[in-house]
Amino acid sequence: MTYGAHAWPRPSRRALLLAAGATLLGACGDPDRETARERSRSSSTDPEEHTIFDLTLDIVDRFRPVELVAPGFAAHEGGRTVTTGLHRHDSGPAAPYAAVLLDVAAVPVDGSVAAGLATADGEHVLVRWSARSGRLSLEVRTDGRTRVLRYRVVPQTGAFGLAFAVCENQVTALVDAGEGWQPVLTERAKVAELVDLRREDVLEGYAYAWGGRGVRLGSVRAGLFGMTGLRDPHLVQHADGSPYVVDGRVYLTWTCAGLGFFQQAHWSVWSLDPAEPRAMRLESQLFTRRDGLVLGDHAGQLVRDGDRWLVLTSSWGDFAPGSIHVRHTSSGDDLLSGVHLLPTERAPLPTDVGSWDPALTRIDGRWRLGFVESPSQDPFDFHPALAETAARDWTDGLEKVAAADNLHQCEGPVIAAVDGTSYLLASDKDNQNYPVFDLAGRRLGRLDAPYPTNIPHPQLVPDPAAGWLMLTFDGEQWHEDVMGYGGHGDVVVMHSA
């Protein structure tokens, strides 16, 4: 990738820094202990002494990953076939995030075509299209009874694509008439009343299914759901904060935007060549197993500590106001490939309000944890906070250092080191900038970088060729007229001049 010149004039760096100011935000704990801690760090609040403010970042690329079946995670990819009745595959999804895509070559006038999930005894969750009526319907069969939950007339002539997708308990029917996949019908509440696909004991009975009456299929593809966009990037790192790199490829976790709200998203691991971020590659998919459910908890971090992975995530998978919190586990498995269902427990954060977006790094023998504190999720009110501990286990003895509680729409904390100095970065929607704090919680200034829509997280990534990348996202939705809020996530790539 070639990085061009600035796309627009900027105010001077000094003007930006003076406008940001340098203040102490919400120091917590015993005042005498805090004073000693700050003296021991001897961190300057003069922005001119911090080279992070020499970075000038510009947008160099923007792209949108959209895949109904995740690349590399297809359970079935088949060619032409003629079928009558419902064909049930010999496998199903490990989590309730799945899709079945049909290339429909022809359907007789009295025929139909269907795709979805089905059990061995005939229960199913399907989308079905009838050639005679043109009706596309979403149906669930349980206890020997089939219920049509939603339908819409969608006339089709000639070949077309029909897709079933489920994200958590939300089922969506999509059609491709030659202009890409378009969502037509979606439903969650009525599906969840009849069958809870989050329950591991329920989901294990369902397999991918497709077919119909007299239908001729050009191809069939079934597998784990992919994404309608990406957001919440976080560097996969070693405990000291250095990037986890394999064969020159840097690893990051991303939230895969799903077909619906926060509960319909899930978590994934990607790798990229810093010279070509657009060619990011999906490596693994991570789900949470808790309370008998398989959930798409996301917005977390993977940290390599010795021979194990430290896993931190946010409980968005079953989000309800007042419930969101940080969860954690550790694992010796290879979390950078395949599909994983991770049992987690609540992290002992030093806060009594909602929390999410954990960011963990060990610096100078102490674990530093950035996270979001949220005293309210209805309406949303949230700000970055910082905690630390000298214990070997990061969950032991965490003490809050600071909280920027004068900010109210600020999240996405990232701990990043520039020229040997570590900072806590965040994203402030109200003021449309990226505040920079030191590890005592003092605000030093803000990054010199454009601010896209939504609340883009400031994930800095060192570029081996020169300078820095910043990977983030924006608020561009995916078919919000049908799907509602939650499908946002254009990937935005910045680079330092």
CATH number (domain holding residue 365): 2.115.10.20
User: At residue 187, does pLDDT exceed 70?
Assistant: yes
Do residues 185 and 117 both lie within one domain? yes
Asked, for residue 6, whether it belongs to a domain, the answer is: no
Write the pLDDT tens digit of every residue in 224-246: 999 999 999 999 999 999 999 99
pLDDT-derived band at 497, boundaries 50, 70, 90: confident
Asked, for residue 27, whether it belongs to a domain, the answer is: yes
Do residues 61 and 80 both lie within one domain? no
pLDDT for residue 79: 82
CA dihedral 92, 96, 97, 103 (to 10 degrees): 50
User: At residue 40, does pLDDT exceed 70?
Assistant: no
The residue-averaged pLDDT of 468-487 equals: 97
Asked, for residue 341, whether it belongs to a domain, the answer is: yes
Nearest to 311 by CA among 294, 331, 325: 331
Do residues 206 and 323 both lie within one domain? no
Q: How many CB atoms lie within 10 A of CB 71?
A: 12
pLDDT-derived band at 6, boundaries 50, 70, 90: very low
Do residues 491 and 342 both lie within one domain? yes
Domain with 302 in it: 13-66+228-496
* CATH number of domain containing 105: 2.60.120.560
Last residue of a domain, one of 226, 251, 272: 226
241, 122 in Cβ contact below 8 A?
no
The residue-averaged pLDDT of 403-414 equals: 98
Do residues 219 and 257 both lie within one domain? no
pLDDT-derived band at 1, boundaries 50, 70, 90: very low
Do residues 27 and 135 both lie within one domain? no
The count of structural domains within the chain is: 2
Last residue of a domain, one of 226, 241, 261: 226
Do residues 222 and 233 both lie within one domain? no
pLDDT for residue 44: 63
Do residues 153 and 28 both lie within one domain? no
Asked, for residue 165, whether it belongs to a domain, the answer is: yes
Write the pLDDT tens digit of every residue in 93-138: 999 999 999 999 999 999 999 999 999 999 999 999 999 999 999 9
Model confidence pTM above 0.85: yes
Last residue of a domain, one of 192, 226, 260: 226
